[in-house]
Structure formats: C-alpha cells, structure tokens
Copies of this chain bind each other. A is one copy, B any other.
Amino acid sequence: MSLLDVAYGRAPADTIITNGTLVNVLTGEVYPAEVGISGTRIAAVGPALERGPRTRIIDAKGGYLVPGLIDGHLHIECSKLSVTSFADLVVPFGTTSVVSGLDQILVVEGLPGVRRFLDESKRTGMRIWWGAPAKAPYTVPESTVGHTFGPAEHREAHQWPECVGIWETVQEMVEHGDPAVMEALELAEAHRLPVFGCAPLSDARRIGGLAAAGIRLDHESYSHEEMLEKLRQGIYAIIRESSVAHFLEENIQVVAKAGARRVAFCTDDVHAADVLAGGHVDKMIRMAVKAGVDPVTAIQMATVNCAEMYRIDHLVGSIAPGRYADVLIVDSLEDFRVREVVAAGSLVARDGSMITPTVPPSRGEVAPFPVRELTADDLALRAPEGASSVTVLTLGFTEQVFVRKRRDVTLPVTGGLVEPSVADDALLVTVVERYGKTGNMPVAMVSGMGLREGAIATSAAPDDNNIICVGASRADMALAVNEVVRLGGGQVVVVDGEVRESLPLPVGGIVSDLPAAEMAVREQRLDDLARELGCALPSPLMYLFFLSITAIPDYAVTDLGLVDCVKLEIVDPFVEA
C-alpha cells in the first residue's frame, strides 16, 4: 500500500524529480511538473509535490523529463553480451525497456535459462518484457537444440508475469498452419496475450492473413508502403534500425500518411560498437526528428506507442502514476541526448555512462561442451564411392546481406575425400551438435567466405547455437571447434595450428559479461583477423553466426546437414552428374 499512500498524500515520496519540464506523451503536452516516486513506481506527477524529511531530490536542472525508451524488438543475445552487460550498454542512452524473446538462451537452457536472464535483468536498469517464442528451434527441418519449446512450455510460460506475448511468429508458420504455432496462438488468446509477427516482404494478401490470425504487430517492413499496408489492415508497425538492417529513413515516411499512433521503434540486432558510437533507441528519435517528425511524436514512438502495442502501457511508456519510475532527463528535444537516467526510481546513469556498473550474478564454473575432441579426420567430406571428381553444391555468400545462393563447384577427389580449395573458393563448413545429444557434425562447402587459410568458429549461432565452423584447413577447423568446446562457448580464429584470437562466451556458450566497450574491441579483433585471412565479407563473424538460420534464403547448414531453405529439406552437397 506504500505506493497508494504516497499517491493519496498519506505518506511522502521516497524521491522527487524537480525542476524539470514534463513531456507528457499521453496528451502531447509539454509543461513543468514534478515527479514523485515510491519505491520503483511513479506515485504522483504534479506542479509541487510535498516533501518528507527523507525525500531524496533529483534536480533536473531545467531539463525535459521523458519516459524511459522502449526497444520494441530486440535479440539481446545477438550482441553476445550478457543481460547485465547489454543493460549497462543501452541504459545510459535511455533504453529502460526492451521487448525480447531470449530465444537463444531458450534453446540452450530452456525455460530455466530464460528465468535466469529475466531475474538477471532485475538487477539492471533495463526491464525485459519477454515474448515467448512461437516455437523453438525455428530451424526447418528442426535441428538439434538443448531444449525445444512448444505448446506445453507455452502453457507454463504464459503464467509468468514477465511474459507479454508470443515472439516472432513467422508469416510462413501462420500461412501453412504449423500445428504447434497455431496451438500457441490459441493459448495466447485464452491467456489474453498478444502475438508478435515476423513478416518481411509481405504483400496485402499475406498481411491480411496475418491480421486474420490475430498477429498484433510486426517489425519487418522493407518499405513504407509495406508498413502502410500493415497499418491499414490492423497490424501495429515497428520501424527497425539494426546494426545491419537500416530501415528508419525509408519507413519513417509512413508517418506522413498514416500518423505515428501505431508505429514504434526497434533495433532487433545491435553490436556493442555501433551502440557506443551512435546510440540506441535515442538515435532513432534523432533520425526521426531529422526526417521531419515532430520531436514529441518521435518520443511517443519510442515510448507510449510501443507500450500500447505490447499492452504494457499501464507499466511503462509514460510518466504517470502507477508506471515504473523510468525517467530520462534530456536537454533538447530536437537533439535528443540523454543526460541522466532514472530507472525504477534510482538515478543510474549520467552523461553516457552508468554511475555504478551493474555487478553480474555469479555464474559458477564454466564447463566444456559435452563434445569429444575432434581431429582433422572428423571433418572429412567423403565423395561418393569411386568418383574421381565431384560437383559440389556450395552455399555461396552474395552481395545481399546474409543471403546465400547456390554455387556449383567441380573439385577433384583425393583418397575418397573432397578437400577445401582456396583457388576454387570452396571452403569446408561444419556444424557440430554441442548439447551431447546426437554428436552430429555434417560437412559441406561454402563459397564467398574468402579465407585463404585457417578456420573460424562460433558457438553463438542462432537459431540452434550449435558450433559453426568454416575453414580452409581441416586441422585448423578441428582445433577451432575443440577450442570453442574447451571454452564452454566462444568465437575463435585459428591459423596454422594456433588459436590466434578467441572470445569466450561462457554464459550458455552464447554471451559474456565483458563490458560492451571491451566486447567491441574483441569483436573488431576477430573480424580484423578474419579479414587478414582473406575474408571480404562486411562482418565475417556475423555472417558465420547466421549460417544456421533456415529462414534466410537460399541455403543454410545445421547439425542435420545442408538445408535447402526454400524446399525446407536436407540436401546432398554433391550434385548428380
């Protein structure tokens, strides 16, 4: 009852933010007001609140008071930062809420892993609103993961107060009526939870199908016309500006046609270096203002609009009684730079840094993955019996971001094996199942990676987070995989039998408690080294990272083998003559 006691004036506020100008995103007004806080919540907003003898005062020094920003769709683990490190990265930029599926820790550790990440977030200034993934893994055919996630797990997860809906319901799953996903949608309706879509490049008919299925929102519009069609058909739209997918400039044009009311912002996947250099959701506000959007409207897009579409507007997204006391102090609405951050009632960040870095939870000892030590022989690509040369269907990187096309390469067979050929741009790739379930480690070939020697490997690798390794040398590949296994997760670059660079990812084999600034340096070193080895891709480790995702056309590799992502089936790497 303490919150109500303060609200009704029966007890003084714990903290009052004074000397600020309120940006009231609920009415669009901007006027002077004080914010009274009780515990973690806002208890009162008014012109002059009563102080008690122990009331703490935060002096906004004439700044604007803005609700904490919300990232409407974010894969935290894609940053390879732990929840703690990621929070300390984005909170100083004003992001106090993120909507996330935690889909990587989910496949690694199941619901207990998600629970730990959610609990971890409570130590930070960043609140996680969790969407339970529509299903996991997303790979088709389903690759081997530590934990799958289906209707039975939905039933349990929906009871968690942090669960705010169904995460990343892919258009195809709805159109083709994936039974597990359709059951999850029914459960969501019974539990009054919204469903979040994932429908890139959809035409009007498919958008209508999604809307008919009850998909409430989507973050995947490649043009503002596509976004307008979604809005018209009743799907809330989230503009994405990730480290690799830059859509704000294009999509913000929808505001002039349909208003901003049902439009929000998200960053989806971001790298530490990009956030440190340019900001996070605050950057999107600046970009929107630069594109001609009224600053208060842009702030609404980053706050209350997002909260409404996720039905969490009673808890975040505005500065009003009952909401969490997540309040930013900002000196200019046009050049939106966050000076100070109050999260859950406490001043936690100032001038771009955490006042006190968050201490991560103790992690316990890191165990190696339950994978036996590999040798070069384990990674041999064996040709069909009796062949002296073969044509290999290689998975070929293209100039389109992440897209992999078929590229056929004819190679000699030596001693029954097909060896990688730098000259022919045909390297070996393997995905080593790392949960101790199948021991799968199929071998196939890739083109366009460009390594002239050595090998690179990663265990952070959605959607299944097995160990992906690409190399010009089988021995180096074996060493790279062995090193990732030994580390209990990480990314490594191996050359000439030597581990030249490694980034341990000890939390679930996917993320690290490294501070973001250090993560940025380490990522840079890994990429630089891969480039030295000949890789010309824009972001070598990121391209490796996404190699198992079967939702990216046209080919992927999982622990089941080479996947035709159009036919959604395992295919042989050898082309029939």
A: residues with CB less than 8 A from B are: 1, 3-4, 6-9, 24, 26-29, 41-46, 161, 174-175, 177, 190-194, 204-206, 208-209, 211-214, 216, 228, 231-234, 257-259, 261-262, 308, 311, 314, 318, 320-323
Contact = CB atoms under 8 A, between A and B. Distances in A.
Nearest to A235: B320
Contact of A43 (B6, B9, B212, B232): B212
A190 to B, nearest CB: 8
A209 B27 contact: no
B321 A234 contact: yes
A2 B273 CA distance: 48
Nearest to A317: B234
A417 to B, nearest CB: 47
A320 B233 contact: yes
A320 B174 contact: no
Interface-central residue, A214, A231, A318, A320, by most chain B CB under 10 Å: A320
A8 B175 contact: yes
Contacts of A4: 174, 177, 209, 212-213
A320 B234 contact: yes
Given A1-B177, A212-B7, A308-B308, A194 B44 contact: no
Closest 3 CB pairs of A and B: A234-B320, A7-B212, A27-B258
Contact of A321 (B190, B208, B231): B208
Contacts of A193: 192
Contacts of A46: 204-205, 208
B213 A322 contact: yes
B208 A44 contact: yes
A208 B42 CA distance: 10
A209 B323 contact: no
B8 A232 contact: no
B322 A211 contact: yes
Contacts of A205: 7-9, 44, 46
A41 B41 CA distance: 40
Nearest to A8: B209
Contact of A212 (B3, B212, B216, B318): B3
Interface-central residue, A29, A44, A191, A233, by most chain B CB under 10 Å: A233
A204 to B, nearest CB: 6
B27 A232 contact: yes
Contacts of A6: 212
Contacts of A8: 175, 205-206, 208-209
Contacts of A177: 1, 4
Nearest to A205: B9
Nearest to A42: B212
Nearest to A193: B192
Contacts of A204: 46
A43 B320 CA distance: 38
Contacts of A234: 26, 314, 318, 320-323
A232 B24 contact: yes
A333 to B, nearest CB: 18
Nearest to A215: B322
A233 B174 CA distance: 39
Given A4-B212, A8-B175, A212-B3, A228 B27 contact: yes
Contact of A231 (B26, B258, B262, B314): B26
A123 to B, nearest CB: 23
Contacts of A259: 27-28
A360 B24 CA distance: 49
Contact of A214 (B216, B258, B314): B314
A208 B257 contact: no
Contacts of A192: 191-193, 311
